[in-house]
Amino acid sequence: MKYCSVCAGHIELKIPEGDSRPRHVCEQCGTIHYQNPRIVAGTLPTYQGKILLCKRAIEPRMGYWTLPAGFMENGESTEQAALRETWEEALAKVEIQQLFSMISVVHIDQVHIFYTAVLPTAEFSSGPESLEVALFAPEDIPWDELAFSTVEKSLRLFLENPTPARVHTLEVNRNR
């Protein structure tokens, strides 16, 4: 960030008074421009023991499989974001069951949240961000073709215990 979005003044990276972290501060008007992690929300949809995955039509990791998920928008809850992203990527209407995993991806300032969800019918299709959408039996999941380590971690945890007593909170060092 070089210029202030409030007054167009020059931005300086410094620790503001009363803070403990470097922030982008406008030299002219003093506005502090906070940068906080972005939330990725999605679902882990199942239908008759199979898991719904989407093959990405966009970068990063175009052509790799993922759970339907994406960036949360202002004005929506994490559940609403997960439902919207599932619709946008898989044209699937799901019923959210519970929060399943929350993974901090510190090196790229993101938090990935996945909800378990049920697909009431096998109705789905590729949305604009997906090349293909398919249901996979656990033994057929394309592990070597998964887009992100957060997706792999969530899938492995789910296959170990699909109805955990608590939410899995993890941290990854590097994400594919």
Q: Report DSSP letters for 69-133, one per residue.
A: EEEPPTT--HHHHHHHHHHHHH----EEEEEEEEEEEGGGTEEEEEEEEE-SSS-----TTEEEE
- Sort strands 110-118 and 65-66 into parallel, antiparallel or unpaired: unpaired
% of residues, the chain, pLDDT over 90:
90
Q: Is the pLDDT of residue 39 over 70?
A: yes
pLDDT tens by residue, 116-146: 999 999 999 999 999 999 999 999 999 999 9
Q: Where are the beta strands (DSSP E) in 10-77?
A: 11-14, 23-26, 32-33, 38-47, 50-56, 65-66, 69-71
| Residues 114 and 78 sit within 8 Å (Cβ to Cβ) | no
Q: Write down the pTM of the prediction.
A: 0.88
- Local structure of residue 10 (DSSP, 8 states): B
Three-state DSSP class for 174? coil
| pLDDT tens-place string over residues 85-109 | 999 999 999 999 999 999 999 999 9
Sequence spans of domains, the chain? 1-35, 38-172
CATH code for residues 38-172:
3.90.79.10
Which residues are CB-neighbours of 134 under 8 A, at least 6 positions away?
Answer: 52, 53, 55
Q: Quick one: CATH architecture of 1-35? A: Single Sheet (2.20)
Q: What pLDDT was estimated at residue 46?
A: 98
Q: What is the pLDDT of residues 52-81, one digit of tens each?
A: 999 999 999 999 999 999 999 999 999 999
Cα angle at 93 between 143 and 83, to 5 degrees? 75
Whether residue 162 is preceded by a cis peptide bond, meaning omega within 30 degrees of 0, is no
